[in-house]
Amino acid sequence: MIKIKTPEEIEKMRVAGKLAADVLVMIEPYIKSGVTTLELDQICQDYIYNTQHAISACLGYMGYPKCTCISVNEVVCHGIPGAHVLKNGDIVNIDVTVIKDEYYGDTSKMFIVGGQTTPLNKRLVNTTQECLYAALHKIHDGANLTIVGDTIQKIADREGFSIVRDYCGHGIGNTFHDEPTVLHYRNHDNVMLQTGMTFTIEPMINAGTYKCKVNKKNGWTVTTADKSPSAQFEHTIVVTDDGCEILTLRPEEEGKIERVLHNLI
């Protein structure tokens, strides 16, 4: 059963979503060649706990040891912040999930260290954001959730990229991972979307194979099986009668996509 959120719950998710987005805005100037992923995590932790007076949903989640996930180059997701030093041209995903007043906001974006990278990395990052945005433009009350996978598959195919199958978007609210499971590749998981459903869309797109490997030593870090680069963007949304509202939109995205999308004309 997919829960329909009340207006009061959606308001709490707006607050949590804004806080998660704010962390990604705050951390941007610190992402430079020479910084470690652990240093970035510690800055996020301090900000979430001491400035936002919120909680990281990741810290302690199924034993996860850090506040954020920081996934560099061939790391698909769940990169554990540590001694890894960033260098110019790296593509870096930071994924932040905060809890405020019992409700969750979950979002991630790609950063390019030093602002420049290879043409392949650039196309991968841009295409992944295009996949997320295109899917967001298809959501409305009455739509079939399969539209997400259909839309993303068309774009990934056009670019010759692959879509990760082992990790998905998810319902979210006063729990981290809830129904529905949101597949990012073409599928037959028919779910009729309804106003008030809240979930994430978070495509992971690989330049090479879709196949992934989980690090056996730490049990978390996911890399591409062929070491090709991977990119991800994530937003938390609420379905509305004629579209959706992006609860984790950042100011920098204005001009690229609206916060409130009217997808039914």
Judged by CB under 6 A, which of 234, 237, 239, 250 binds ligand MF3? 234
Least CB distance to ligand MF3 at residue 251 (A): 21
- In sequence order, the 6+-apart residues with CB closer than 8 A to the CB of 256 are 133
- CB burial class (10 A; 0-12, 13-18, 19+) of residue 123? middle
Rounded distance between C-alpha atoms, residue 244 and residue 63, angstroms:
33
Residue 29 CB neighbour total at 10 angstroms: 8
Binding mask 62-81 for ligand MF3 (x = CB under 6 A): --x----x--------x---
- In this structure, what token pair is assigned to residue 154? 């068309």
Q: Which two tokens stand for residue 209?
A: 């194979």
List 105's β-bridge partners, or say none.
Answer: 98
Closer residue to Co ion (CB): 106 or 245: 106
By CB under 6 A, residue 97 contacts ligand MF3: yes
* Site membership for Co ion, residue 200 (CB under 5 A): yes
Verify binding: residue 95, ligand MF3, rule CB under 6 A: yes
Applying the rule CB under 5 A, the residues between 90 and 129 that interact with Co ion are 95, 106
CB nearer to ligand MF3: give 68 or 121. 68
**Residue of the chain from 24, 48, 58, 231 that contacts ligand MF3 (CB under 6 A):** 58
Tokens of 200: 């994430």
How deeply is 256 buried, as exposed, middle or buried, from its count of CB atoms within 10 A (0-12, 13-18, 19+)? exposed
Cα–Cα distance for residue pair 97/108, rounded to 1 Å: 9
106 binds ligand MF3 per the rule CB under 6 A: yes
Contact residues: ligand MF3, CB under 6 A: 58, 61, 64, 69, 78, 95, 97, 106, 202, 234
Residues that bind Co ion (CB under 5 A): 95, 106, 200, 234
